[in-house]
Structure formats: structure tokens, C-alpha cells
């Protein structure tokens, strides 16, 4: 970067009305011997009539930290001693020491955004001309190799293409958090390798996340690393468990997480990428490769990751996060280890008691109709029409949960007969519910069209299994 030791330096771009307005003033300053250098961000022939240096590579703009143009900088003995941005007659006069400049111009006019801070450019320039602060090893992909194919060949993916984690993209992802890149988040199973914020950002980039999703990714990872979640077991079990992330609060709306039509399906970037980022960390940091430390017998499509927002449009329905200790108005995630989903409908049910009975029948089929009494978990996702039936009857969440839970009860002797004679504690006719207390979560999501619910089948629950864990989303 070639800057004069003394005098005035001007940064402009032709695509800026204020820069065009002060072009005659720039020629006046050069004629007085004060303006020693002019750098143009977009056209080295602008302003006409001046000796203009080409800054289309934005190196000078980056090193001078140019956020607004026009920008006039005063330098003395090789150091900056003052600057003004935009056009303000009094400020320009004070910086130049001239009281007669800018006559005929309006007293002030705002400048334009510098190309050096246009979306995505700041990180590119940081990589090119500055210090990134990143510590991860760089992998070169030489021409004519395809980076997408290279990452697939190296086993860095879940089988789908991933976004190449260039330094600029990783820096951009790190803008989504206040945490330092080298902060340690924990050990990723099954291998127990250390994960830093930077490594999490790399995998979030690869998953296709945007920087504003990153706080949700970090909160979900923190929840998954809680011992109660049993991440180690989930990632190495033969049952083929995956990671479900349920999001509550303002951040869901802010980042465009879907809670309506096709909420558990495709079509929405935030839904498709947040839980996938965790799964990629398990592969790339934890070493959970199918057939290696990932021992899934069959697996299921949800192992790519499942993330959705709860529908919070009904003020009478308490969001899941608030039932799990998060204050009202805060954003939170709940992680749930799951082994697949099943869709259910009870089209003849039109009132809450019968609907609860029908839902109980569907829930009793999870894994095996004869399994009951604890050790299993599930999430019941109520579609809009089912939620409406409960809403119109005035049933709050607590009543819905209690009714559905009770609807799964069956006599002990019947369960013993259905499940290969396995014994259960209690008297023969004693009613036993499918799930232990707290192992059945109920959430609202989906559209208002169709009498459907979805059951998200949990992995082993309880103290020896995986329990849902909730964390507040922090910046």
C-alpha cells in the first residue's frame, strides 16, 4: 500500500452521489497542493482530471478501515492525524485548514457505504490482507480438483455435498457469536476429540448454515454435550439414533425457522442445516463414520439432522421451553435423541377426549406395543387441526399432556402377554403407561390443513439412556 507520509488522502467510488458531488472540490485541493493521493474503489478514471490510484482490489480501503465514502484522511509524518466521512463543510474545513472550500455545495450530505464493508467482503479482505486468527489447518485443493468431490472423497460429509469452509466463510460464521474462536466447547463423541468455537463454525459452514443460525448451533451443541443427553451412546448405538433440535422463542422467527407447512421436512434452510451441523461435527471431529464408530444397524433419514420451531401462535399454549425452565420471551433449544418418525391421523376424532384416546393408541405402537413402563421417550408433534380441537375446548398444555399420557395406559397382564411373557412389577390389572413421567414431550407444529400428528421416536430414555436437554440461546 503506497500512501504519502504527509498530506490529504481521498477514498471515493463513482457509484456514490456524494463522491460525484465533491469531485470538483477534490480537484481544487489537488490544485492547492494539499491532496496527495486519490484512491477509487470502482473506477480508476474517477474523478476525472485527477491522478487516481486503482483500489478495485480494496487493499487501501481495507487498511484504512474505510466504512463510508467519500473519506478524507490527513496524514503527518507517516501517521493518520484525522479523517472525515461523507460531506460536512465545517468538518472538511477544519481538517484541511481552509475556510473557503465547498462554496456552492450544500452544508452537508451523507456518504455511501464503502465497497470494503459490503456483505461478505470484509471477511474476504481480512483473509487476503489481514490476520484471520484462525488456527485450523488449511487443506489446498489444486486445480483441476473439485473441492466438493475432494471433501466427499476424504469422508468429511454425511453423504450430501457440503459447502467448502474457506477462511472467509468461517470468519463470517464467527460473526454470529461473541465467543473467541479458540474457546473450547467440549469433547465430541464417540472419539472425544476437543471441539472449539472455530471447529464448530467450520462444520456449520459445511452444513450450509448462515451466521445468524450459529447461536442456535452453539446452544444445541452445549445441550447435546450435557451428560444427561448421552451423546456418546446416541452416536454409537446400533439403534441408529440422530439429533432432533426443537427451537422456541424470538430467534426462531428471526432466522426463518419453519413451524408451519412441512415443518419436519425440506424447503427451509435453517431447518435443514442447524441439526446437520451437529451431525457433521460428530463425523468430522468425533469420528462417527457408519460401520466404524457409528454402529447403526439401519439408520434413518433423520440422521442427517432434524430441526424445527414450535408453533407459538396460540397465546394459550405454553411453549415447550417455558415448561423446561426458560423464562418467557427468551430463545431456547431442546435436543432430543431420536430413531425416526411416524405420521398418524385420527380423522374421526373431533373432540379432545376421543382425540387423546386415539393419540394414545398411536403412541403405544412406538417400538413395540408390548413395551411400556419407562425406558422409552417420544415427542408428539400436534398438527394445526389437532391443536385447534384442544384450543377450542380450552385445554392448556398440561391437560393435553396428562390426557394423552393416561391414554397410553394398559393393564399389566395384557402387556406381559403382548411382549413375550416379560414380567412387569405390579398387580395383574394394574394400569401401566407407555412412558415414564417426563419421557413424553408434546409440541405444536405443522400447518392447519389435515388431521395429522407425528411421533418422533426417542432412543432409550431414563438415567441409563438419553434425556431431552434444554438450553437458552445466547449470543
Q: pLDDT by residue (tens digit) across 429-439?
A: 788 899 998 89
From CA 303, how far away is CA 306, in angstroms rounded?
Answer: 8
Of 362, 371, 350, 379, the residue nearest 470 (C-alpha) = 379
The whole-number average pLDDT for the span 192-220 is 97
Of 300, 220, 229, 305, the residue nearest 460 (C-alpha) = 229
Place of cell 456418546: 232
Pairing of β 35-40 and β 52-54: parallel
pLDDT digits (tens, 9 = 90+) for 270-323: 999 999 999 999 999 999 888 888 888 888 888 899 999 999 999 999 999 999
The secondary structure of 153-196, three-state, reads HCCCCCCCCCCCCCHHHHHHHHCCCCCCCCCEEEEECCCCEEEE
CATH superfamily of the 7-129 domain = Glutaredoxin (3.40.30.10)
Q: What is the pTM of this model?
A: 0.86
Pairing of β 68-69 and β 112-113: antiparallel
As a residue count, the chain comes to: 475
Dig out the grid coordinates for 454 from the structure: 407425528
Q: How many CB atoms lie within 10 A of CB 334?
A: 25
Where exactly does CATH 3.40.30.10 map onto the chain?
Answer: 7-129
pLDDT digits (tens, 9 = 90+) for 25-83: 999 999 999 999 999 999 999 999 999 999 999 999 999 999 999 999 999 999 999 99
DSSP string, 187-249: EETTTTEEEEHHHHHHHHHHHT--GGGHHHHHHHHHHHTSGGG-HHHHHH-TT--EEEEEEES
Band of residue 144 on the pLDDT scale cut at 50, 70, 90? confident
Asked if the model's pLDDT at residue 425 lies above 80, the reply is: no
The sign one gets for the Cα dihedral 424, 427, 433, 439 is negative
The whole-number average pLDDT for the span 176-181 is 96
Asked if the model's pLDDT at residue 1 lies above 70, the reply is: no
With beta carbons less than 8 A apart as the criterion, state whether 280 and 207 touch. yes
Question: Would you state the pLDDT for residue 378?
Answer: 96
Band of residue 423 on the pLDDT scale cut at 50, 70, 90? low
Asked if the model's pLDDT at residue 420 lies above 60, the reply is: no
Amino acid at each position: 500500500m503506497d500512501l504519502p507520509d504527509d498530506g490529504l488522502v481521498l477514498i471515493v467510488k463513482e457509484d456514490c452521489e456524494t463522491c460525484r458531488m465533491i469531485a470538483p472540490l477534490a480537484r481544487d485541493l489537488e490544485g492547492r497542493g494539499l491532496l496527495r493521493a486519490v484512491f477509487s474503489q470502482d473506477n480508476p478514471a474517477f474523478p476525472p482530471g485527477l491522478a487516481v490510484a486503482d483500489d478495485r482490489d480494496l487493499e487501501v480501503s481495507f487498511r484504512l478501515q474505510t466504512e463510508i465514502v467519500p473519506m478524507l484522511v490527513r496524514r503527518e509524518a507517516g501517521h493518520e492525524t484525522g479523517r472525515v466521512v461523507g460531506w460536512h463543510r465545517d468538518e472538511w474545513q477544519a481538517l484541511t485548514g481552509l475556510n473557503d472550500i465547498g462554496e456552492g455545495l450544500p452544508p452537508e450530505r451523507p456518504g455511501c457505504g464503502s465497497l470494503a464493508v459490503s456483505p461478505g467482503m470484509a471477511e474476504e479482505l481480512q483473509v487476503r490482507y489481514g490476520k484471520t486468527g484462525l488456527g485450523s489447518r488449511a487443506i489446498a485443493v489444486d486445480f483441476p480438483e473439485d473441492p466438493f468431490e475432494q471433501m466427499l472423497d476424504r469422508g468429511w460429509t454425511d453423504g450430501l455435498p457440503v459447502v467448502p469452509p474457506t477462511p472467509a466463510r468461517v470468519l463470517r460464521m464467527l460473526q454470529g457469536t461473541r465467543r473467541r474462536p479458540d474457546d473450547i466447547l467440549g469433547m465430541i463423541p464417540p472419539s472425544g476429540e476437543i471441539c472449539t468455537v472455530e471447529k464448530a463454525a467450520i462444520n456449520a459452514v459445511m452444513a450450509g448454515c448462515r451466521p445468524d443460525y450459529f447461536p442456535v448451533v452453539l446452544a444445541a451443541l452445549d445441550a447435546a454435550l450435557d451428560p444427561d443427553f448421552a451423546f456418546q451412546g446416541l452416536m454409537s448405538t446400533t439403534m441408529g439414533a440422530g439429533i432432533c433440535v426443537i427451537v422456541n422463542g424470538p430467534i426462531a422467527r428471526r432466522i426463518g425457522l419453519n413451524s408451519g407447512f412441512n415443518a419436519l421436512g425440506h424447503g427451509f434452510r435453517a431447518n435443514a442445516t442447524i441439526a446437520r451441523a451437529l451431525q457433521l461435527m460428530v463425523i468430522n471431529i468425533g469420528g462417527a463414520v457408519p460401520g466404524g464408530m457409528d454402529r447403526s444397524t439401519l439408520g434413518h433419514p433423520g440422521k442427517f439432522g432434524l430441526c424445527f420451531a414450535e408453533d407459538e401462535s396460540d397465546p394459550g399454549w405454553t411453549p415447550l421451553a417455558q415448561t423446561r425452565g426458560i423464562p418467557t420471551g427468551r430463545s431456547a433449544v431442546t435436543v432430543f435423541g431420536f430413531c425416526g418418525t411416524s405420521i398418524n391421523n385420527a380423522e374421526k376424532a373431533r373432540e379432545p377426549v376421543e382425540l387423546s384416546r386415539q393419540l394414545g393408541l398411536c403412541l403405544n405402537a412406538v417400538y413395540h406395543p408390548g413395551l411400556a413402563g419407562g425406558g422409552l421417550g417420544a415427542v408428539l408433534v400436534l398438527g394445526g387441526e389437532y391443536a385447534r380441537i384442544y384450543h377450542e375446548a380450552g385445554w392448556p398444555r398440561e391437560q393435553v399432556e396428562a390426557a394423552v399420557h393416561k391414554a397410553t395406559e394398559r393393564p399389566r397382564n395384557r402387556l406381559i402377554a403382548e411382549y413375550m411373557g416379560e414380567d412387569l412389577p405390579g398387580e395383574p390389572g394394574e394400569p401401566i403407561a407407555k412412558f415414564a413421567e417426563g419421557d413424553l414431550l408434546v409440541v405444536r407444529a405443522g400447518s392447519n390443513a389435515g388431521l395429522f400428528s407425528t411421533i418422533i421416536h426417542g432412543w432409550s430414555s431414563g438415567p441409563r439412556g438419553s434425556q431431552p436437554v434444554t438450553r437458552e440461546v445466547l449470543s
